[in-house]
Amino acid sequence: MYAVIESGGKQHRVKEGEVLKLEKIEAAAGDTISFDKVLMVGAGADIQLGAPYLAGSTVNAEIVSHGRHDKIRIVKFRRRKHYKRETGHRQWFTEVRITGISAG
């Protein structure tokens, strides 16, 4: 069984037992959270689609850890103009383990 959920403005296809990195969620490691923005639930050829979300469907997950991705370097450069700007960015993430999928 798998589901498509929305979290942090992005859509993710998840199945039970999977570990994935999402946008930062304000909760402590070890907490249990529930995603109610479920777009689709499928089991083989049998699927249920929401318009836009499935009513009564939830995906439960456990927060494993928090962290930051690798640094992304941003460089602005104009040749022959003595102009160069370098900055960097590290995005926060929350690592979650999917513990259960319930179709409504």
Mean pLDDT of 28-38: 96
Q: Which structure tokens are listed for 5? A: 């959920």
Question: What one-letter code names the amino acid at 10?
Answer: K
Q: What is the DSSP letter of 53?
A: S
Q: Would strands 46-49 and 83-89 be described as parallel, antiparallel, or unpaired? A: unpaired
Q: Which structure tokens are listed for 61? A: 């997950």
Q: Structure pTM?
A: 0.84
pLDDT of the residue at 44: 86
Buried b (16+ CB within 10 A) or exposed e, 25-36: beeeeeeebebe
**34: which strand partners?**
60
pLDDT of the residue at 48: 93
What whole-number distance in Å separates Cα of residue 100 and Cα of residue 17? 8
